[in-house]
Amino acid sequence: MNEPSAVVPQTRYELRFAGLCDTGRGYAFPCDARGQVDIDELSDRGRTNYFFARAVIGTVLSAPIVSRVA
């Protein structure tokens, strides 16, 4: 008799940039556990948003944090 294989959920992470003035706004990008974003996997718009978010850290957005995604 074959035992059903256990499904192990894959842990996913996001790099999150929160708005400094408008706390309800921000950006989130898929990343690894260290916060490394695979630029090649982002859409053109995603890449543009990622580079924008990095450029405005401290003025419009907070420094990013790595968060686990459920």
pLDDT in tens, 19-59: 999 878 999 999 999 999 999 999 999 999 999 999 999 99
The secondary structure element, H or E, covering residue 35 is none
SS3 label, residue 47: helix
Per the structure block, which two tokens stand in for 9? 């959920």
Query: Cα-flanking dihedrals φ and ψ of residue 56, to 5°?
Result: -110, 20
Judged against a pLDDT cut of 70, whether residue 1 lies above it is answered with: no
Domains in the chain: boundaries = 12-69
Q: Can you tell me the mean pLDDT for 4-11?
A: 71
